[in-house]
Chain A
């Protein structure tokens, strides 16, 4: 009843961090167009297991586009071509029968490949460690209405805070820069009164960790915004630039 398609997958296979890795071709048949991209990989993996082969490792968790775990570069684009969509929310109806799909891991020095399509994004956690929070201890807070926050600022802060930390921005950037990720976090707090006390120290510490992790510099290509499944604006990078300059003088 369902419409199905058959495809050829060209998938990056790499046993571990030391393995040089290579592409392998896999034909997949009769995939329902209602299946998600990851479900299509599930089907292939079940087939591989039954054939006694090692299934393709890929990260995934919530499969509803919010946890930021999944992600691969599909035909040259992180999370595939569809805008504002994570790989788990990309459905096969966007492909045609007979297509060849090339699937590669996110590529960045700061994201070493762990296995196949799985990369290590702990560099993001280390950046957050340096200041992606307001240093308030449980129990210290005043009443939630002690400080009013202008709605436009609160809304902009929320827009920035929507980042799911999937790292598609880095994968898409020709320089493998993490400026959109860091910009979003710094913006979220720079826009709120709660974030003011640590505003300068946060911008300095997070940028310095970002550089130490080996991410590239931003050259205003805006590929990050195009790849971001949450549509986070590059104006957050502009704000990061401003915050950094402000905190340097």
Chain B
């Protein structure tokens, strides 16, 4: 039964939806930690430290998260591959109806942007030495992770790339939240319009909150290029 489910187009789609939903929950958690930056260097570094101290729980969580990412990407790949095969010869004239929202149309693009971003993001913030003083120094103070974040975002290229990625997150979620309901059959027609609106609002909110951080850094600490 499970094998049949995993082989079916609907089953695969539902796997993508459920893994996406869990990833979004992680994202909300991630966001709540990130927003700690507004509480100042001390609190922010403390939060980071607490997470470091979770030990095995953290390892399991990280493994789970990696698994979710891989599942989400792998099943998306399967679904997309089947769909590409379903129409080998395209139309000479391309035309979409108003039904199809911009975020829906951009899913392949935003998905790809996010994949690249996540890899670069891990390289930037995850696989680095927090105690590397050179990185963590902000204006002559050694400020740990907080310092690393501030230093990165003072680079306008990093900030811009980050904000582009957050627009992609917002767009991706605008389609995704709504889609989860549809894919699990919780859309009964009347709720459709409301669902799509809420989906766009939540997606935009998450994107704005994430995106506010580099802006805040640039406004409070100034751009590195200006100095």
A181-239 contacts to B (CB < 8 Å):
204, 207-208, 210-211, 214-223, 225-227, 233-235, 237-239
A160-183 contacts to B (CB < 8 Å):
172, 174-177
A75 at the interface (CB under 8 A from B): yes
Instruction: Report the stretch among A29-37, A101-109, A125-133 that lies at the interface.
Output: A101-109
Complex CA distance for A107 and B91, rounded to whole angstroms = 7
Chain A contacts for B90, CB-based, 8 A: 107
B53 at the interface (CB under 8 A from A): no
- Tell me the number of A-to-B contacts counted with CB atoms below 8 Å: 149
Within 8 Å by CB of B188, from A221, A226, A238, lies: A238
A245-B83 contact in complex given A218-B9, A234-B182, A235-B189, C-beta closer than 8 Å: no
Within 8 Å by CB of B100, from A75, A214, A222, A238, lies: A222
B187 at the interface (CB under 8 A from A): yes
Q: Are B100 and A221 in contact (CB under 8 A)?
A: yes
A110 at the interface (CB under 8 A from B): yes
Complex CA distance for A248 and B4, rounded to whole angstroms = 8
Within 8 Å by CB of A217, from B9, B98, B104, lies: B9
Residue of A nearest to B185 (CB): A242
B215 at the interface (CB under 8 A from A): no
Complex CA distance for A61 and B176, rounded to whole angstroms = 41
Within 8 Å by CB of A225, from B8, B82, B88, B99, lies: B99
B4-22 contacts to A (CB < 8 Å):
4-5, 7-14
A217-B185 contact in complex given A107-B89, A109-B88, A210-B9, C-beta closer than 8 Å: no
B154 at the interface (CB under 8 A from A): no
B87 at the interface (CB under 8 A from A): yes
A226-B98 contact in complex given A108-B87, A211-B9, A234-B182, C-beta closer than 8 Å: yes
B104-126 contacts to A (CB < 8 Å):
104-105, 107
Chain A contacts for B100, CB-based, 8 A: 221-223, 226
Chain A contacts for B95, CB-based, 8 A: 75-77, 81
B124-165 contacts to A (CB < 8 Å):
none
A217-B83 contact in complex given A239-B185, A241-B184, A245-B185, C-beta closer than 8 Å: yes
A26 at the interface (CB under 8 A from B): no
B226 at the interface (CB under 8 A from A): no
Complex CA distance for A77 and B79, rounded to whole angstroms = 24
Chain A contacts for B96, CB-based, 8 A: 223
Chain B contacts for A95, CB-based, 8 A: none
Within 8 Å by CB of B12, from A108, A217, A222, lies: A217
Complex CA distance for A35 and B20, rounded to whole angstroms = 50
Residue of B nearest to A204 (CB): B4
Q: Which A residues fall within an 8 A CB radius of B?
A: 10, 12, 23, 73, 75-77, 81, 102, 104, 107-110, 172, 174-177, 204, 207-208, 210-211, 214-223, 225-227, 233-235, 237-245, 248-249
17 A-B residue pairings within 8 Å (CB atoms): A75-B93, A108-B87, A174-B83, A176-B83, A207-B10, A208-B4, A211-B7, A211-B8, A214-B85, A217-B12, A217-B83, A220-B179, A222-B97, A223-B96, A238-B181, A241-B13, A241-B182
The 8 closest A-B pairs by CB, nearest first: A242-B185, A76-B95, A216-B86, A216-B83, A226-B97, A175-B83, A235-B189, A76-B93
User: A75-B93, A207-B8 provided; 6 other pairs, C-beta below 8 A?
Assistant: A109-B88, A175-B83, A211-B8, A218-B10, A235-B188, A241-B183
